[in-house]
Structures are given as structure tokens and as C-alpha cells.
Chains A and B, each alone.
Chain A
Amino acid sequence: QTVVTQEPSFSVAPGGTVTLTCGLSSGSVSARYYPSWYQQTPGQAPRTLIYNINTRSSGVSDRFSGSILGNKAALTITGAQADDDSDYYCVLYMGSGNWVFGGGTKLTVL
């Protein structure tokens, strides 16, 4: 069974830029996987950031952008702020009506 992989943790300095990735244990992520990205702070429901690779959800800052980089989906955060300190999850469509979440990346802004 193919697993959706994400970095377990990442850190970025305030004002810095960070790119989180979303890959596959076997194979490459392409546009047909329609990656989406979600931000979650402890005790809260997830918040939708990006869908359809690079479309920002309503109200999401343009500091967040999505792309396909090499063989992975990517979420880039520019000008990191303290409230970006959160968990980030990607979702990939795996075919046959099956959506799979990655394990999540804990981003620390320090």
C-alpha cells in the first residue's frame, strides 16, 4: 500500500521561507493527484489552505503557495510569521474514490 509522506518536522525563522513536501512511498506525485493542503493548530479543526495543486482557499494569504516540485507536491510559506507555527497536512487522490492524508509536518517558527 502506497503511503503519503511528509517531513515529520521543520523549522523556519520568522520572516523566512520554507517549503514543505508531500510525496509517495512509491512513485511520483503529479498533477493527477490533485494535492491539497491543510493547516491545523492544536485543539482546532483543520483549515483549508490550497487545493487543486496551487489554488488558495478563500481568505488565505498569498504567503502560502502550492506547486509540484520534482516528484512531490510542495507547500511554500514565505515571510513566516509566529501564527504559522502549526501542523500541515497534504491530501492526495489515490484513485478509485480514495483520498489519503499525509502524516503531517509540525512546523516551528523560531
Chain B
Amino acid sequence: QVQLQESGPGLVKPSETLSLTCAVSGFSISSGSYWGWIRQPPGKGLEWLGSIYYSGNTHINPSLKSRVTLSVDTSENQFSLKLTSVTAADTAVYFCAAHRRPESTIAVAAYYFDDWGQGSLVTVSS
């Protein structure tokens, strides 16, 4: 059974960089699949931030492209998110998730989110 666990500081100061790591167990990151980050501001909806393949190939939300960096560490079986120049609007629960392809197709468009982490609340405040 695949399990994902987010970790990182719960409080970040405005203008600084938010850094989170997602540890994956029960599945090797190198076996395939993209790995994604999704966030949810308090009381609001979900927003996809970006996804990374084990090889390092990434897809990033165009609205956040200038501030988001994704990385993967296959030796530690984990992947990470960095979000720069944060403001209060970046306060949210950050989820990591497997971003999988259905077996019936090779289309990138068909990828869907599966096996979610429990989420990590990050507050941006001085």
C-alpha cells in the first residue's frame, strides 16, 4: 500500500521560501508515475501546483511557474516543493499525491491524482 507523508515547517515568514518534502513508502518513486503537489487555503478549494516525474521532468501550474521548483530524490524515495516569495495568500494545507496514468492509455492528459498524503498546514506570517 502506497503511503505519502508531507513534512516541513508549519510557519514561514512573508517573502521567504516555503519548503516541503513528501516521503513515499510502499512504492518506489523510480518505478514510474508523476508525483504532485496540491494545496487548499483555509475554507477554499483545491489548487494543483505541479508534478514531477522520477527522471526530473516537471509540469508546473502556469500561474505559479515563476515561484515553484520541484525536485525528486530517488535515493530517499521522496520529492520536494519550494515556493518562493510567499505571502499570506500562500497559507494553505499542502497535499502531496501520486499523479498516475491509467493502464489503458499512455496519454499524459489522462493522469489523475491518487494515494494522497494527509496534508501539511503551512502558515505564512511574520
Interface residues of A (CB under 8 A from B): 32-34, 36, 38, 40, 45-48, 51-52, 55, 57, 89, 91, 93, 95-104
* Cβ 8 A contact of A101, one of B48, B107, B119: B48
**Minimum Cβ distance to chain B for residue A27 (Å):** 15
By size class, the interface of chain B is 20 to 34
Residues of B50-101 at the interface with A, using a CB-CB cut-off of 8 Å, are 51, 59-62, 95, 97
* Cβ 8 A contact of B108, one of A45, A55, A97: A97
Q: When chains A and B are docked, how far (Å) is the Cα of A100 from the Cα of B49?
A: 9
- Contacts A52-B105, A99-B48, A104-B46 given: A91-B117 contact, CB under 8 Å? no
Once the chains bind, are A46 and B62 in contact (CB under 8 Å)? no
Q: When chains A and B are docked, how far (Å) is the Cα of A104 from the Cα of B38?
A: 14
Once the chains bind, are A91 and B102 in contact (CB under 8 Å)? no
Once the chains bind, are A48 and B59 in contact (CB under 8 Å)? no
Once the chains bind, are B59 and A103 in contact (CB under 8 Å)? no
Once the chains bind, are A101 and B45 in contact (CB under 8 Å)? yes
Chain A residues contacting B48 (CB-CB under 8 Å) are: 91, 99-101
Once the chains bind, are B45 and A98 in contact (CB under 8 Å)? no
